[in-house]
Amino acid sequence: MGLPQRFILVLLSIYLYSASVVNTQQEFKIQSVKLIIEPRNDVTAGTNVTLRCQATVSTSTEKGPIREYTILKNDKIVYTKTIGSSEDFVYQLHNARVFSTGLYQCKLDIQGDTKLSKAQRLNVQGLSQPVLHLEMNVVNEGEEVQATCIAPGEIGSFIFFFFDNDEQMSRVEGLSNQAKTTFRLSSGGIHKIHCSYKIRTAEDTFPSTKSNNVTVSVKELSITPVLKISPDSTIYEGDHLNISCSAQNFHSSSEGYKLFLSQGTKLLRTGNSTINHNMVAVPKVSEALTFDCRVEMRNVEKYTKKAISVVELFSVPSLTMFPTEIFQGEIMTLTCNSERFASQRINREDLEYTLYPSKNLPSSGKPGVFNVKALQNDFNYTCSAEAKGIKKDSKTLMIRPKVHVSALKISIEDKVILKKSITILCQSNGSLPINYTLFKDNVQVGTKVIRERNRQAVFMDVINKPGEIQYRCEAKNSLHSNKTGSSQHLSVNVIVPLSLMTLTVIPTPLAISEGEDLRFICSVNGTGPVTFKWYRTGSAVPLQTNTTTETYSSFVIKPVSKNDSDKYYCEASNGANKVRSENVDVQVLMALWKKMLIIVACLLLLSVLLLVASMLYIKSKRDAVSFYDGKEGRVTNGTRHSMASVPADISNRSSYSIPATV
């Protein structure tokens, strides 16, 4: 074959391979996946169930792609299979059981593209009846019995129960449909044994019915425990008890047994033959003495019990004190006494009482009575009663001596103002509770009970009249004693609020002149000490401050000047209130000597002016006479340099003079 033919064959092979690759890369689309349960969703146990998975797939070629189907139950994979056809996928559940109950789904996977069907629930109802088998039907008491319980045809997770006459004996769990157990039947007679089971699913637990009953006959052991207590009549506290525990009707010589003797939960003795135990009878409070005799053989245990009542020889003593309230250093009486005693065995005089501690106790002459001096701090006492070798102790009596009230103090908060509420405080040292009583001028005002430490008794009062008031506190913390603590008298001066304030100015504001002393007198109604302050309007700084016990005070400006003209007022306060006067307008007049000086100066000035005017007038007169004397006999004729004759009387005037009168 030539080179051209070979080249043509290669090209043809490449073309055919490319065509085959294009054909294999077909397109598809999973439209739907549906799961159908046949014959139905609710079936009885033993039914053959079919899970049919129907899928609709669109493809680009006649030959469909390879499909992978998966069956899921309760979201867990049950079965997976790959097929090449488009037929329905079928999964068979042969002989469906209750364990098959659940939610099923079908999943289709084509080349990584998956689709899941809707969930369908399968309900399988009915469990098979369990079957019970026993190895033996006749056993000896205490002998082991093996039992097997079977759940025919069932699968799943099981819980088996075994019963003896409806009383559960054991429980076995597992994945197998049968369970084995062993048990002992301890009592003789006929026993009916049965079993049952439960199957657990992911959602619920399903119980079965009861199995068949299997009858087991148990041969009882002939051995019997025997318990004897002596004496068997009335038993008193302190009596000696003889107790024996034994077994009878025991005929086997090859087997042994063991005995146990107990009192309540206390094991007294054990043994392989008769047990004897001696003890002194001691009563239990509101309870009899219970003894237990047990015999154990072949894992079989038999017992017998007896209860005896023990009469108390005498009761537990009680320790009391009188008086019930005691103060430091006082004498008290402690009494130790047993209220009840068995008169058939002892007399009251047989009881001996002892007090603890018992150092240097004064004798009272009566049994069980002790005189004790209270200490400075808390202390404990106990006592005992004893008769016929039996000794009983009382409960501990804790004594807390009280402390009498002392260092009683009385005080008042704030200031005492007429018709205003005041707070009086009383406080003292001593044991609580403390009763406080307040007196005002020896008249009781009120009482308070203080039950907490470091608390003061607080009293409220109102004083309606001025003057000196005396308060006093009394304190008492004993119910059986008249002893009280009394405070010192607290004297208080009632502050009367200020009123009717007046401001007087001396001299009167209309007659004040420079150089005089100006006096302001401020007076009020009320009680001192009073603080007076004088102000000039427009200034917050007082001109003068004065505190006095009087209800008036004064302020002096000396000497006064025109600059002191202004409005003035005063304020007064005494702790109860503050009052302010009206403004007083002060205008300072000019001094008298200044007025006289001005008048004199004015008169002098007027005199000077008059003198100057007179001199000027006289001078003007003289100038006029000399002017006419120079022109005598010359009269102009109406022309510039003409003269006319002057009368003879005018020409002779310069020689007449009249003194000027001023």
- Flag whether pLDDT at 633 surpasses 70: no
Q: How far apart are CA 280 and CA 484, in angstroms?
A: 56
Residue 19 covered by a domain? no
The mean per-residue pLDDT over the stretch 139-148 comes to 87
- Flag whether pLDDT at 5 surpasses 60: no
- Flag whether pLDDT at 630 surpasses 70: no
Across-strand partners of 615? none
Average pLDDT, the chain: 84
Q: Identify whether residues 326 and 342 lie together within a single domain.
A: yes
Q: Identify whether residues 49 and 120 lie together within a single domain.
A: yes
The confidence score (pLDDT) of residue 651 equals: 35
Q: Identify whether residues 338 and 264 lie together within a single domain.
A: no
Residue 639 covered by a domain? no
Report the number of distinct structural domains present in the chain: 6
State whether residue 174 is helix, strand or coil.
Answer: strand
The confidence score (pLDDT) of residue 479 equals: 73
Share of the chain above pLDDT 90, in %: 42
- Flag whether pLDDT at 135 surpasses 70: yes
Q: What is the CATH number of the domain that holds 307?
A: 2.60.40.10
The confidence score (pLDDT) of residue 306 equals: 92
- Taking only the tens place, the pLDDT of each residue in 350-403 is 999 999 987 666 656 788 899 888 888 888 999 999 998 899 999 999 998 988
Q: Specify the higher pLDDT residue, 226 or 655.
A: 226
- At a CB cut-off of 8 Å and minimum separation 6, what does 287 contact? none
- Flag whether pLDDT at 152 surpasses 90: yes
Q: Identify whether residues 542 and 503 lie together within a single domain.
A: yes
SS (H, E, C) 222-246: CCEEEEEEECCCCEECCCEEEEEEE
- Flag whether pLDDT at 9 surpasses 90: no
Q: Identify whether residues 95 and 141 lie together within a single domain.
A: no
Share of the chain above pLDDT 70, in %: 86
- Flag whether pLDDT at 20 surpasses 50: no
Residue 228, domain extent: 224-311
Residue 63 covered by a domain? yes
Give the confidence band of 481 by pLDDT, cuts at 50, 70, 90: low
The confidence score (pLDDT) of residue 415 equals: 83
- Taking only the tens place, the pLDDT of each residue in 286-312 is 678 899 999 988 778 888 999 998 999
Give the confidence band of 54 by pLDDT, cuts at 50, 70, 90: very high
The mean per-residue pLDDT over the stretch 249-256 comes to 65
Residue 419 covered by a domain? yes
The mean per-residue pLDDT over the stretch 494-505 comes to 91
**Helix, strand and coil in the chain, % to nearest 5:** 10, 50, 40
Give the confidence band of 404 by pLDDT, cuts at 50, 70, 90: confident
Q: Specify the higher pLDDT residue, 401 or 20.
A: 401
Q: Identify whether residues 117 and 38 lie together within a single domain.
A: yes
Residue 342 covered by a domain? yes
Q: Using the structure block, give the residue that is written with the tokens 């009206």.
A: 582
Q: Identify whether residues 261 and 241 lie together within a single domain.
A: yes
> pTM score > 0.75 for this model?
no
Q: In terms of C-beta distances under 8 Å and separation of at least 24 residues, what long-range contacts does 535-541 make, across chains too?
A: 535/568, 535/569, 535/570, 535/571, 536/566, 536/567, 536/568, 537/566, 537/567, 537/568, 537/569, 537/583, 538/566
- Flag whether pLDDT at 429 surpasses 80: yes
- Flag whether pLDDT at 646 surpasses 50: no
Q: Specify the higher pLDDT residue, 629 or 228.
A: 228
Residue 613 covered by a domain? no
- Flag whether pLDDT at 22 surpasses 60: no
The confidence score (pLDDT) of residue 609 equals: 85
- Flag whether pLDDT at 121 surpasses 50: yes
The confidence score (pLDDT) of residue 363 equals: 58
Q: How far apart are CA 108 and CA 66, in angstroms?
A: 10
Pairing of strands 120-125, 42-44: parallel
Q: How far apart are CA 497 and CA 482, in angstroms?
A: 42
Residue 261 covered by a domain? yes
Structure tokens at 513: 């002149």
Q: How far apart are CA 109 and CA 65, in angstroms?
A: 10
Q: Identify whether residues 37 and 93 lie together within a single domain.
A: yes
The last residue of one of the domains, among 273, 293, 311, is 311
The mean per-residue pLDDT over the stretch 503-513 comes to 82
The last residue of one of the domains, among 101, 125, 149, is 125
SS (H, E, C) 546-580: EEECCCEEEEEECCCCHHHCEEEEEEEECCCCEEE
The confidence score (pLDDT) of residue 649 equals: 40
- Flag whether pLDDT at 255 surpasses 70: no
Q: How far apart are CA 31 and CA 55, in angstroms?
A: 8
Comparing 80-84, 321-325, 405-409, 592-596, the range with the smallest average pLDDT is 592-596
For residue 638, the Cα-to-chain-centroid distance in whole angstroms is 139
- Taking only the tens place, the pLDDT of each residue in 443-452 is 898 999 988 8
Q: Specify the higher pLDDT residue, 484 or 335.
A: 335
- Flag whether pLDDT at 660 surpasses 50: no
Q: What angle do CA 412, 418, 420 make, to 5 degrees?
A: 65
The confidence score (pLDDT) of residue 210 equals: 94
Q: Identify whether residues 55 and 100 lie together within a single domain.
A: yes
Q: Identify whether residues 505 and 583 lie together within a single domain.
A: yes
| Residues 435-450: b if buried by 16+ CB within 10 A, e if exposed | bbbbbbeeeeeeebeb
Question: Of the spans 41-50, 242-251, 629-638, 647-656, which averages the highest pLDDT?
Answer: 41-50
The confidence score (pLDDT) of residue 654 equals: 31
- Flag whether pLDDT at 650 surpasses 60: no
Residue 484 covered by a domain? yes
The confidence score (pLDDT) of residue 593 equals: 65
The last residue of one of the domains, among 252, 285, 311, is 311
State whether residue 199 is helix, strand or coil.
Answer: strand
Q: Identify whether residues 83 and 154 lie together within a single domain.
A: no
Q: Specify the higher pLDDT residue, 206 or 85.
A: 206
Q: Identify whether residues 383 and 461 lie together within a single domain.
A: no
Counted residue by residue, the chain has a size of: 662
The confidence score (pLDDT) of residue 507 equals: 86
